[in-house]
Every structure is written in C-alpha cells, then in structure tokens.
Amino acid sequence: MRTSHNGYCSRLQPDLSRFNSWRALVDLKNRNALITGASSGIGRAIAIALAQQGSNVIINFRSNEDLAKEVLAECNKYSKKNIAVRADITKENEVKEMFGKIKKDFGNLDILINNAGIYDGGDNLTNIEVFEKLWENNFLAQVRVTKYALEMMKKGKIINITSIHGRLGHGPRGATGYGALKAAFDHYTKNLAKNLAPDIIVNAIAPGKTLTPIWGDITKEEEKEYAQDHLIKRFITPDEIADGVIFILKNDAVCGEILTIDGGMGIKTFN
C-alpha cells in the first residue's frame, strides 16, 4: 500500500501482465474454431455465433452436405475464412484427414467445440450393442478429435457439449447408456482442464431439453408436454446454448466447469 496526499491509504494498481497468456483470445476475431456436428441444431447455432464474432469457422458434418452448405453460407455473412469438412469422427482415418485439411488451410487451431453426438434411448440397462454405439459416438469420438486438436493448439479453449442427463441422478431411466456416457464425458472434461490449463482452458456445457432436429416433427402439444420437465416450461433454444459458448470463450476465469443450461430441469421438484 501507499499513502496518498490526503493521508488515506490507496492500493497500488496490480500488475496484470501475468494474466495475458490467453486474454488476447477474448477477442474472437480471426480465431480458428472447429465445431463438430455443426450442420444442424446446437452445432449450427454455435458455428453461426462464432462467425458473428469474426472467427474462422470449420463446420464439421458427417452426412448432410446440403445442410452444412447452408450453415457455411450463413457464416459467410459475418466472416469469410470458413469451410465445411465432411468427417465421421468415429473413424480414425477420416478425423486424421480432416485435421490434415485444417492444418493446410489454417495452420493452427484456437478453439474446439466437441458438439457431435447421438441420442439412443433404446437400451434396457444391459443392452451391450447400444452401450457400444454410445461409447463410440458420445465419448471415444470426442477423445479422438481432442487428440488431433491438441497437436494444433499451443494456446486455446475447448468446450465439450455434454448433457444434464450426465449429472449424477439425472439420467433418464429409459436411456441409461446415454446418461452414463455423458457422465463419463463430464469427468473427462474436468481431467482435461486439470492437465491442460493454463495454456488450454477446458469447460463443458450441459444442456437440458433443447429444440433440435433430434426431436423430429413433434407437435406443439408434444413440445409443451415435454417442456414440463423445465421450470421455465419451454424448450431451450440452440441459440441459448451458443450464447453460453461465447460467454465461456470470453471469460478466462471459467476453467474445468460444466455450465448447466437446463431451464431449471436439474432442480425441479415434483409435487
């Protein structure tokens, strides 16, 4: 402390230079960002939100090229160095080829959003086939993508899209495997954060019921019924999840956290 001219003690301004290892990325302009499963739903919303921030967006998709092109066209309204890349992230050779293209076109990667995944509610506690499919699509594929991404990231941020169903006690009885593998993804997120900080900051977002194409052509009545699990009594929108992604990317103090955006589903009590 030092004494000011009027006799009161005033604090010296702290030296903030040591906090600048990542602060430059708070400005997301011209940052290279890969979003898996970005041709629709939450991934689409995140890709567009990042483009609106000026990021260079890499739109990964598995099969629907037409939808991916639509997302690319929307992103190009806001930033220009954007591409769409087909790759099934459950296949090592396709992931390796995708990252080869990213390295050639962009040189490095600043942001990874592990969004791709599937829902399968067809398991009955011990259906090995369903568990294996979920293991491949909702956990091992994300580890594989992260492996290649880390080879291209000196500093950066990773956000994993998990689920409220991965929280202990919140998994649906009809989808045991889905909840179990999302819980594993939560755990993986926290251990990545422990190992990679401060150079690479890792977090996750756990959405509740979000209105994406995975729900199919549900009626307004069905939508209202399903949304009763939320305290807000409506579905979450993909844009609201994308808002959470941008918040985390711009806040260096959030590390190893799982941001819950579930409309109050996790704390809902039953009368």
For the chain, what is the domain count? 1
Angstrom distance (rounded) from CA 38 to CA 63 = 11
Say if 200 falls within a structural domain: yes
pLDDT at residue number 10: 43
16 in any annotated domain: no
pLDDT band at 20 (very low <50, low <70, confident <90, very high): low
Q: How far apart are CA 227 and CA 65, in angstroms?
A: 31
Displacement of CA 68 from its chain's centroid (Å):
18
The answer to the question of residue 166 being in a domain is yes
Strand order in the sheet with 258-261: 83-86, 56-61, 32-35, 111-114, 156-161, 200-207, 258-261
CA distance 57 to 75: 8
Distance from C-alpha of 153 to C-alpha of 31, rounded to nearest angstrom: 12
CATH classification of the domain holding 231: 3.40.50.720
Report the predicted TM-score, pTM, of the whole model to 2 decimal places.
Answer: 0.89
Q: Comparing C-alpha atoms, which of 58, 187, 51 is closest to residue 113?
A: 58
Query: Could you tell me if residue 42 is inside a domain?
Result: yes
HSE-CB at 249 with a 13 A cutoff on CA atoms is 26
Which of these ranges, 50-64, 92-106, 256-270, has the smallest mean pLDDT?
256-270
60-77: pLDDT as tens digits:
999 999 999 999 999 999
Question: For this structure, is 178 an active site residue?
Answer: yes
Asked if 11 and 1 count as a contact pair (C-beta separation under 8 A), the reply is: yes
Domain assignment present for 168: yes
Choose the weakest-confidence range: 7-21, 44-58, 244-258: 7-21
Candidate list 8, 178, 188, 226, residue with the active-site label: 178
Judge whether 219 lies within some domain: yes
In a domain, 84, yes or no: yes
Domain membership of residue 99 as a residue range: 25-267
Q: Is the pLDDT of residue 21 over 70?
A: no
Neighbours of 86 (CB within 10 A): 16
